[in-house]
Structures are given as C-alpha cells and as structure tokens.
Amino acid sequence: MTLRGSVAIVGMGETPVGALPDQGSTELCAEAARLALLDAGLKKGEVDGLITCNPWVEPHLYHAEMFSEYMQIFPRFCMTLNAGGATSLTAVLRAASAIVTGVCDTVLITHGDNPRTGMTGAETGAKMTTTMNPQFELPYGVPLTNGYAMAGRAHMYEYGTTSAQLAQVAVSARKHASLNPAAEMRTPITVEDVLNSPVVADPLHALDCSLWSDGGAAVVVVGAERAKDFPNKPVYFLGCGEGHFHEHLFQARSLTTTAASESGPRAFAMAGMQPKDMDFAQVYDCFTPVVIMELEDLGFCAKGEGGGFVENGNIELGGPMPVNTHGGLLSHSHTGHPGSMFALTEAVTQLRGSGGERQVADAEVGLVHGQGGVLSSHATLILGTQASL
C-alpha cells in the first residue's frame, strides 16, 4: 500500500502574524481553524479528525482534547503532536494514514501560538533551554542559538561556506516577503545589511536569525476521492518521509549533515520523483546555515555546494529553485512550533496558483521541509496538483 495520491488538502487558513497582543494561543489556533473550514466550505461538525501542537504560551497536557472541547467538535481521531518545526508535516502524514485506514474522513490540522507578546524574554529563554541536555549542554552555556551557530561554523570550516553566502539566504527570503502582503518584515535588505547587523552568536548576525511572532495556520485534509467536491483547487499528498538522528546536539552524528538526508529520499521515493522535479521548495529557515544544509541534504545540490547554490538568484523567484516564497521564518514570521504551518499553507497557495506577485509560474509540484530541536527531527512532504498524479 502507498499513501501517494490518497489524500488532498482542500482548505487552508492563516491568521495575521507579528505582534498580536489581543489574541492568545488558543484563540489564534481557533481563528486559523475557522478560516480553514471556511475556505473548505465545511462546518465544524463535519470534522471527525483533529491534530494540534502544544503551544509554548498556553500548554495543556491533552491539548487536542482541550481544543476539541473549546471548538465543540467531537472527533473520532484526536492527536497532539510535537516534533518542533517538523510537527506540521508529520501531522499531514498521520492525517493521511488515519483517512486511508478508515479511522476518520475529515482531518483538521491547526496550530497557533503567541510567543512574541505572550512571553517575556526570560520566559522565552527558559523554554528554549528545555531542548538542551541538563548534564552535558546546559552547564557549558549552549543555548539553542549557539547550537545552530556551531553547525554553521562547522559547515564554513568543512566546505568553505562564507558569511556572505549565509546572508544571501536572508536577502532572498526578504525579497519574497516584500511581495507578500501578509509577511511581517517586507523592507528589502542587502548582503551588507546582514553582515553589518549585530553578531548574535558567531557566525550568526541578527538578520541571519528568524523572527519571533504571534500567529496561527491550519489545513483541512480529506480523501482524494472527495477532493473535487470542495470549492478550491485540491492539493494532493504525493510523498512524505521522516528522519531522526538525535535529540541533543552533542549526540549528533555530524554538525553538517542532517536527517534531511534520510527524510528527503524517503519522500521522493514515495512520490516517485526527484529533486529536479520540484517547482519550488519551502524549507525550514530558523537560521540561514540551516537552509544551505537542508538544500544539500535534500538533494538540490551536492554536499558542500550549498553556499554557491544560494547565490546568483538560484533560490529566488525566476531562478531554478525558488525557496521560501512567502518569506520564511526569516521574514514572514516564526510563531514557535506552528512556524512550519505557514510553509505548508504557502505550498498550497502556490499549487493553487494564487500567490499573486510571488507566484511561481506553472507550479505543479512542490516540497516542504521542517525540522525541530537543534537539527533534530526532520520531515519532508511533497505536494502536487491533479496534473502531478
């Protein structure tokens, strides 16, 4: 049995992003769900499957159950997932599995959080340290950002990647965000702007780092045989793969090769496709070196060639592989665990052909990749239009 072509996304919703002090995480989660159901032309009573992710600001021991109560929907399938930035994509895989096996018919995946206005800086720092090993990392001052900086520096040492190449990732993301009315940061930047911004953790400058935002996003997944019955163009599940090498960075097999090297090939194998078949890629960009490593590990370029690959407009609209066409975590928003939901909804937007100024011409197939922890949990999802089946 294969899940390829078995389900489709028929609804999507996005809240505004940025500083939203009047909405808590539960309200953002609910608003995203409302918008996704409206987009699908469904009423909440027609939802019989629910997948959520525990927010940082208002965590609940049984978040999905709490949220179903809040929304007054009573699903047959109910799950709270947490794989960090990979959660949204692992959720689509589990929704597909539940639908194909007859557990439920209509799955709502919704995430929302407000870490920007709902937490103090000290509270945010304390949350981030929970990803660090209390014996072998925390005592030596290895917070989350420093872990990514170590990986970036290792890639520079091993392959000659430069700070200017890292900066190009941020510049390209901002260029796309400038075309996206929903993005939080839309003012164009240059490589020099990135390099002149304050150093946060060498080699990372402030503009090499993602935003910190409030917001929520949601999708509705149904069986492929029902997909044509909905108001908007369905976006079909073609393949998905996961890869998990470590939890804590000091246990990583490598600082420069991630588990995307396994999740990507698994997704491509299920889809029966290769990286060259993709029309765009939405990849996790919490820090600029991550994009370079993911593009290599997913097979868009050879290992060690990611720095050169992101130059000369290669990852921009009009280039051979547009990356993060909504602006990514670097310029659209980073809402914590729900962050990769916006990469997923952007993929749906592109495959529907409704991207406006940032639309990839004739987009039929796209890749979405997320990762959580410090290069820990990886998930790759390939989506396509009816023509790609």
Residue 127, pLDDT > 80, answer no
Return the CATH number of 7-119+214-235, one of 1.10.10.10, 3.40.50.300, 3.40.47.10, 1.10.3720.10: 3.40.47.10
Domain spans, the chain: 7-119+214-235, 138-212+239-388
Non-local CB neighbours of 306 within 8 Å, separated by 6+ positions:
155, 159, 161, 291, 292, 293, 295, 296
Q: What is the pLDDT of residue 123?
A: 84
Q: Which pLDDT does position 342 carry in this prediction?
A: 98
Q: Is the pLDDT of residue 124 over 90?
A: no
- Tell me if 378 sits within 8 A of 262, measured CB to CB: yes
Q: What is the pTM of this model?
A: 0.97
Tell me which residue of 99, 375, 381 sits closest to 241, measured CA to CA.
381
Q: What is the mean pLDDT of residues 119-125?
A: 83
The predicted structure's pLDDT at residue 45? 96
Distance from C-alpha of 40 to C-alpha of 37, rounded to nearest angstrom: 5
Of 66-80, 133-147, 345-359, which gets the smallest average pLDDT? 133-147
| Relative orientation angle of helices 163-177 and 288-297, to the nearest 10 degrees | 90
Task: Write b or e for each residue in 209-245: b if 16 or more Cβ atoms lie within 10 A of its Cβ, otherwise e.
Answer: bbbbbbbbbbbbbbbbeebeebebbbbbbbbbbbbbb
For residue 87, the model assigns a pLDDT of 96
- Token match 């929302």: residue? 112
| Confidence (pLDDT) at 210 | 97
pLDDT tens across 287-327, in order? 999 999 999 999 999 999 999 999 999 999 999 999 999 99
Cα–Cα nearest to 203, from 253, 170, 164: 164
CA gap 56, 61 in Å, rounded: 12
In whole angstroms, give the CA distance from residue 358 to residue 287.
22
Mean pLDDT of 188-209: 98
pLDDT of res. 8: 98
Q: Please tell me the predicted confidence (pLDDT) of residue 230.
A: 98
- Mean pLDDT across the chain, nearest whole number? 96
7-119+214-235 and 138-212+239-388 share one CATH topology? yes
In this prediction, residue 212 carries a pLDDT of: 94
| CB burial string 335-354: b at 16+ within 10 A, e below | bbbbbbbbbbbbbbbbbbee
pLDDT value for 38: 98
Mean pLDDT, residues 74-97: 96
Q: Which pLDDT score, from 0 to 100, does residue 109 have?
A: 98
Superfamily of domain 138-212+239-388: Thiolase/Chalcone synthase (3.40.47.10)
